Amino acid sequence: MFTYYLKLAFLALKRTPALSSLMVLAIALGLATAMTALTLLYKLSGDPIPQKSNVLYAVQLDNWAADRAFDETPANLPPNLMTHRDARRLLADAKAPMQAAMWRSGVSVVPEDKDVRPRLVSARVTGGDFFAMFDVPFLHGGTWSKADEQAEHRVTVISRELAERVYKRTDVVGERIRYGDEDFTVVGVLDNWKVQPLFYDVSNDTLGDPEEIYVPWSVGTVKEMDINGNTSCFAPPTGEGFVALAESDCIFAQYWAELPDAATRDAYFDYLTAYVAEQRKTGRFKRPDNNKLSPVREWLTQNRVVPDDSRIFTGIGVAFLFVCLLNATGLLLAKFLRKSGEIGLRRALGAKRRAIFAQHLTESGLIGFLGAVVGLILTVGGLALVRMLIPRFDDVARIDATLFLLLIVVALLGAIAAGAYPAWRACRIAPASQLKTN
């Protein structure tokens, strides 16, 4: 009978094209608004590294002032950055199977080819474990060795885009590249790599692209490379310049550890507790123990990487969809009750109530499906508009297969929900009252 109901549904839509179009448009507009917002929220709050997000931890130590918490909310979270001195020490102790300390910087790349202009390029000062920890793919070569790190060798890993820009090719391992006033040797070229959001550094634009240049932590330290991102202090450094900053309790570095199981995680946490206790004896860490190991998803939530605007916009979008479905319910009710004569006739000819209900629910479902098709077009348009208005959302404001399926399902379920009451009213029509002929 379903194909029969579908045939009747098509005929019914043809019979009232204006009313049907209105219902399809109502559903489509509601869908497009909700799905545009939901797409942004979904992409922004998605797991950026699902294959490892449960073993990667942001390391947080509460070195803040005795009389003032870093986070003055009831959550009392420890700082989301670390001091250079604590990062240095944790790196040296190397208690985790893999760890990386880092900060974002910028360098001026001076190509040998005089036809290519120098430009300021984003850089990350980090340890060699960074690439393995975050599954960063290499096109050529690999990361620098621990020996390179300890010896402060001027080695670097660059992005594919930078290699193509500077050398017009990507197989440039071994080539020299000038950063400012010093030459570095390329040891690795990254393949195309996109992580959304950039979870490992929430003090910069989390929707931006990964850095194009990577230099060893030791080299970045000795060269006193610029710090791009947040630097917070509860007291000023005793002195000027990078060295004073690096020795102070000012925080600007990120620190991540890969802890593959609960036992390793617990052992590492014990290590952090012992470290803080040791530092407390030197007069630092005056606050009660408040250390934290935050896995990726928790880290993103803690740092509100998903903007509140996105959640609010999603709420509004869903509410608007609800209003549109209510509208569709009203229109469907009017449409079905207008067919009371035909419904009475069908009942007289032997249709059971549930057959009438199924027939009209099928019509609602068809309207929902058409609403989904139009809604998809409007959603794609809406996301294009978002990309145009907010260029940093260029990678986020795009629909994928999961969201496409979700749109179809929401449309069908929404239309069926909207049509359930009108279909129920239709099947309750008393046939005798509609077949009055005298």
Partner 1 sequence: MLQMQNLRKVFRTALVETHALRDFSLEVKAGEFVAVTGPSGSGKTTFLNIAGLLEEHTDGLYALDGIDVNKLDDDARSRLRNEKIGFIFQSFNLIPDLDLFDNVDVPLRYRGFPKADRKRRIEGALGRVGLGSRLHHYPAELSGGQQQRVAIARALAGEPKLLLADEPTGNLDTVMARGVLELLEEINGRGTTIIMVTHDLELARRARRHVHVVDGQVVDLAETDFAPIRAPARTQAAA
Distance of CA 21 to the CA centre of its chain: 36
Residue closer to partner 1, measured from CB, 253 or 426? 426
CA distance 172 to 187: 8
Exposed, middle or buried: residue 332 (CB in 10 Å: 0-12, 13-18, 19+)?
buried
Residue closer to partner 1, measured from CB, 152 or 342? 342
CA distance 395 to 210: 13
Is residue 18 close enough to count as binding partner 1 by CB under 8 A? no
Is residue 337 close enough to count as binding partner 1 by CB under 8 A? no
Member of 104, 124, 287, 346 binding partner 1 (CB under 8 A): 346
The region of 113-121, 214-222, 337-345, 393-401 touching partner 1 under the rule CB under 8 A is 337-345
Member of 180, 341, 381, 391 binding partner 1 (CB under 8 A): 341
Residue closer to partner 1, measured from CB, 305 or 355? 355
Site for partner 1 in 418-437 (CB under 8 A): 430-432, 435-437
Is residue 1 close enough to count as binding partner 1 by CB under 8 A? yes
Is residue 281 close enough to count as binding partner 1 by CB under 8 A? no
As measured in angstroms, the least distance from the Cβ of 418 to partner 1 is 23
Within 13 Å of residue 23, how many CA atoms lie on the same side as its CB?
A: 31
Member of 38, 101, 187, 351 binding partner 1 (CB under 8 A): 351
Site for partner 1 in 26-85 (CB under 8 A): none
CA distance 227 to 253: 9
Is residue 353 close enough to count as binding partner 1 by CB under 8 A? yes
In the block, which residue shows the tokens 């990577």? 214
As measured in angstroms, the least distance from the Cβ of 432 to partner 1 is 4
Residue closer to partner 1, measured from CB, 345 or 373? 345
Member of 119, 304, 352, 392 binding partner 1 (CB under 8 A): 352
Is residue 347 close enough to count as binding partner 1 by CB under 8 A? yes
Member of 132, 348, 388, 390 binding partner 1 (CB under 8 A): 348
What is the token pair recorded at 434? 């509609």
Is residue 192 close enough to count as binding partner 1 by CB under 8 A? no
Member of 2, 4, 244, 319 binding partner 1 (CB under 8 A): 4
Q: Which residues bind partner 1 (CB under 8 A)?
A: 1, 4, 11-12, 14-15, 341-342, 345-355, 430-432, 435-438
